[in-house]
Amino acid sequence: MARPPRLDVIFERHADPVWFLTLNTASREPWLNDAVVHSAFQDFSKRGFENGRATIGRYVLMPDHLHLFARLHRDEVLGAWVKALKAVLARATGTKAGHWQQGFFDHLLRKSESYAEKWDYVRMNPVRARLVEQPEDWPFQGELYPIYFD
C-alpha cells in the first residue's frame, strides 16, 4: 500500500520522525506488567538505539497495553519495527500469553509541547487504573533516552 502523499512532505521536514505509539494485548489480557517483559523491552530499545534505528523516549507498560514515544530513523519502517517489538515482548513471556491485538495506534508528533502534553496524560495511567498512588511508583515505566525536537 502506498504512503499518502502528504506524509512525504512531513517526512521531508522531519528526517527522523517522533511517534506516540499505543500497542494493546489481544483481548486486553494482562501480561505486560512483568519484570521479564520490561527487561526485554529495555533491551530491544537499547539495541535499536545502538544500531541507530530508533530512540525510545518515555514509555509506560500497563498490564494490557504499552504507550511509548519513539524517534525512528527515516529508513525504518514503522509497521516492521512495531512487529519486531511485539515479537520480542511476546517471546519474553515464555507462554502463549504474549498475543497482541492486530495493528497499533500511531500519532506523529510535530513539536515538544505535544510530547509533554501526551506524556503528562500517559504517565498518570497507572494512577487512574488504581495500580499505584503516584505515577513514579509504577515500576514498568521510564525514559530510556531523551527525545529533543528541532
Cβ neighbourhood burial of 89 (10 Å; 0-12, 13-18, 19+): buried
State the pLDDT at residue 8: 47
Decide: 17 and 71 in contact? Cβ < 8 Å.
Answer: yes
What distance in Å separates the CA atoms of residue 61 and residue 46, rounded to the nearest whole number? Answer: 16
Give yes or no for residue 2 having a pLDDT over 80: no
pLDDT value for 6? 47
% of residues, the chain, pLDDT over 90: 75
Comparing 45 with 2, the larger pLDDT belongs to 45
Instruction: Tell me how far the alpha carbon of residue 57 is from its chain's centroid.
Output: 8
Predicted TM-score of the model (pTM)? 0.87
pLDDT single digits (tens) 57-71:
999 999 999 999 999
Instruction: Please give the CATH architecture assigned to the domain spanning 5-143.
Output: 2-Layer Sandwich (3.30)
State yes or no: pLDDT of 43 exceeds 70: yes
pLDDT reported for residue 102: 92
Alpha-carbon span 92 to 61, nearest angstrom? 14
Q: Report whether pLDDT(23) > 80.
A: yes
Beta bridge partners of 133: none
Q: What is the pLDDT of residues 44-99, one digit of tens each?
A: 999 999 999 999 999 999 999 999 999 999 889 999 999 999 999 999 987 655 68
Q: Locate the domains of the chain by residue range.
A: 5-143
Q: Encode pLDDT of 114-124 as tens digits.
A: 899 999 999 99
pLDDT at 97: 58
How many Å is the maximal CA-CA distance in the chain? 45
Across all residues in the chain, what is the average pLDDT?
89
Q: Hey, what's the torsion of the CAs at 112, 42, 93, 125, to 10 degrees?
A: -30
The pLDDT assigned to 101 comes to 93
